[in-house]
A = this chain, B = another copy of it.
Amino acid sequence: MRSHFCTDLSEANVGDNVILCGWANSYRDHGGIVFIDLRDKSGLIQLVCDPADNAHAHKLASEVRDEFVLIAHGRVRNRGEGLVNPRLKTGAIEVVVEELIIENRSEPVPFGIGDNSVGEEIRLKYRYLDLRNPSMYNTFMLRSKAAIAARNVLDRLGFLEVETPILTKSTPEGARDYLVPSRVHEGEFYALPQSPQLFKQLLMVGGFDRYFQIAKCFRDEDLRADRQPEFTQIDVEMSFCNQEDVIRVAEELITGMFAAAGHEVHTPFNRIKYNDAMEWYGSDKPDLRYDLKMIDVIDIFARCDNEIFTSIAANPKMNRIKALRVPGADLVFSKREMKSFEDYVRKFGAKGLGYFQMKEDGLKGPLEKFFAPEDLQLLVERTGMEVGDVVFFGAGDKKTVWDYMGRFRIFIAEHEKMNLIDQDRFEFVWVVDFPMFEIEDGRVKALHHPFTMPRDLNHEHLEDIESIAYDIVLNGTELGGGSIRIHKQALQEQIFTLLGIGEEEAQEKFGFLLDALKFGAPPHGGFAIGFDRFMMLLSKKESIRDVIAFPKTQKASCIMTQAPSPVELTQLRELHIRLRESVK
């Protein structure tokens, strides 16, 4: 019906006859002439309805209210000097309306299009009005383009997109499954998949060689700003490959998706060992847009004259004393502020937060008195302190120190007085060489999942065994990860044994995969990327709800949900309570 979208037009079109379709974003009567800002997905353009040009169109135009649906035939002209609106892409031109059709009317809208000052609940209740904001459209255009780019890259690399079932059995991710009773098949229940993990491994056993899918996954968990009960995952698996092959594919995929959004990304991405990430940044998803690297100083503190520190330093295998040098901090933070940082880290288990300030005459601070001058000098050298810097110390058992010093590192970077984060930068890093196992409350658990290939089982301590697993991190957010999988049945059984999973349990939970491993499984591995989170980062949105067309919120757990019917609901409520009890 239309000849152009609104912002397709520019001064190059002056004199052209055009047909535009869209919504009345606003209207005003100015000296008997009606001006309408017409909006479509591309943006706005001004329509002019002058009774001198066309009395009929003008009469109709005077009936137009916000969000009326219009079809306008007219001619493009220059607005003329002094009348240009620099805030509009089409601000230099306007369309003189020759024929106007009011295609549909609108009741007064509950909020103005693009008005983000109203609450999120009301925006979601009238999501279709919220979506009319061209900036919303742009986000979803980006999402569509990124998905198509992903598919074209993977297609080019010989991957097939294969759809795996949504109605399936429980998968081993560990969160709660949604269970779906079938009304037709009595006694049958499906589970919605938390990922296509088992299916993609079966496809490798089936000789498919290179698989991918942009797949819906499900977890029956509480909603959070960054979590929806259904989410989308770019899922990839390949055979006869090693870690390098998989990483190369992932980098090509990510590069292609960023290119579709107009961002050039350089490969290969940086890599960091899991252990180094923890030691340097206190996190397995470090944000590398800023420097701030933690430095080991346990050997220096071992010689100090404070029993708290020396007792910690006495066990350097289990404990850590870490220094975080913050350049220029002494110039911007008051002593009170520096003291207040302690309150922040205490929330994460810190007993305190020591610090030194680098003054013209050397290190100063509450801890100064415990150190010999040469050790103070050593601290300066090791941390690279310069005048105006502050170095903060965390001491304690290593996991606690990693955690709170890692958080403190981010806290400082984001602090409005430091503002260390370049929001335009995309810093990718692969975190590699993860431990295979973690021990929690004496129980051995798989850090990734039990199908992950260990690098070498010959270690005295289980915790020292590494797996061939890798995570991809962007700006401090884990985008995804993967691993090389176990393809030999004997090894898989050995891992289950180490994890304390008995033969019967293994058969019940993963029997289908275990059977498959008997019949010639090829070496294989892959990765998955959380597409919603990826889109948040790519489009620089704060909430996952900004990148999902119809998100769920705590209040309206699904935007379309109304209970099926009052009677049915009562029945279902009972069922629900029993279901809940049954899984306790």
Chain A positions near chain B (C-beta within 8 angstroms): 1-2, 21-23, 39-41, 67-69, 71, 103-107, 109, 126-132, 136-137, 140-141, 143-145, 147-148, 151-152, 155, 160-170, 176-192, 198-199, 202-203, 205-209, 216, 218, 220-222, 229-230, 232, 239-242, 245, 487-488, 508, 511-512, 516, 518-523, 548-550, 552, 557-565, 567-569, 571-583
Contact B520 A68, beta carbon cutoff 8 Å? yes
Contact of A180 among B23, B163, B192 (CB under 8 A): B192
Residues from chain B with Cβ under 8 Å of A558 in the complex: 165, 167-169, 188, 190
30 A–B contacts, CB within 8 A, in A order: A21-B239, A41-B207, A69-B521, A69-B522, A69-B523, A105-B520, A107-B518, A127-B206, A128-B206, A131-B207, A140-B208, A144-B155, A144-B161, A163-B216, A165-B230, A165-B560, A167-B552, A168-B560, A169-B562, A170-B564, A181-B579, A182-B229, A183-B220, A188-B557, A188-B558, A190-B561, A203-B549, A512-B559, A568-B582, A575-B582
- Name the one of B179, B207, B222, B241 contacting A181, with C-beta atoms under 8 angstroms: B179
Chain B residue at minimum C-beta to C-beta distance from A186: B576
Given the complex, which residues of B lie within 8 Å of A67, measured CB to CB?
Answer: 519-520
C-alpha spacing A178/B166, complex, angstroms: 12
Are A207's CB and B520's CB within 8 A? no
Tell me the complex Cα distance, A169–B583, Å.
25
Tell me whether A182 and B572 are in contact (CB under 8 A). Answer: no
CB neighbours (8 Å) of A1 from chain B are: 240-242, 245, 523
**Complexed CA–CA distance, A206 and B559 (Å):** 15
A167 lies within 8 A of B229 (CB): yes
In Å, the complex CA distance between A178 and B581 comes to 21
Contact A571 B582 (CB under 8 A): yes
Question: Which 5 residue pairs spanning A and B have beta carbons closest together?
Answer: A131-B206, A571-B582, A106-B520, A128-B206, A67-B520
**Is there contact, CB below 8 Å, between A232 and B191?**
no
Residues in chain B near residue A561, CB distance under 8 A:
168-169, 188-190
CB pair A574–B578 under 8 Å, yes or no, is yes
| Cross-chain contact A571 with B576 (CB below 8 angstroms) | no
When chains A and B are docked, how far (Å) is the Cα of A105 from the Cα of B520?
Answer: 5
Please give 15 more A-B residue pairs, beta carbons under 8 A apart, in addition to A189-B563, A568-B583.
A40-B207, A69-B522, A140-B162, A147-B161, A148-B161, A165-B230, A181-B572, A181-B576, A182-B229, A185-B557, A188-B557, A188-B558, A199-B549, A199-B550, A572-B582
Are B522's CB and A220's CB within 8 A? no
Chain B residues within 8 Å of A583, by CB: 183, 568
Task: Check A140–B165 contact: CB distance below 8 A.
Answer: no
A537 to chain B, nearest CB (A): 18
Asked whether A178 lies within 8 Å of B179 as measured between CB atoms, the reply is no
Known pairs A1-B241, A147-B161; A557 contacts B202 (CB<8 A): no
Q: Given the complex of chains A and B, what is the CA–CA distance between A478 and B141 in angstroms? A: 31
Among A145, A167, A218, A574, which residue has the most Cβ atoms of chain B within 10 A?
A: A167
From residue A23, how far is it (CB to closest CB) to chain B in Å? 6
Task: Tell whether, in the assembled complex, residue A178 and residue B180 are in contact, meaning their CB atoms are under 8 Å apart.
Answer: yes
The answer, among B132, B180, B203, for a CB contact under 8 Å with A207, is: B132
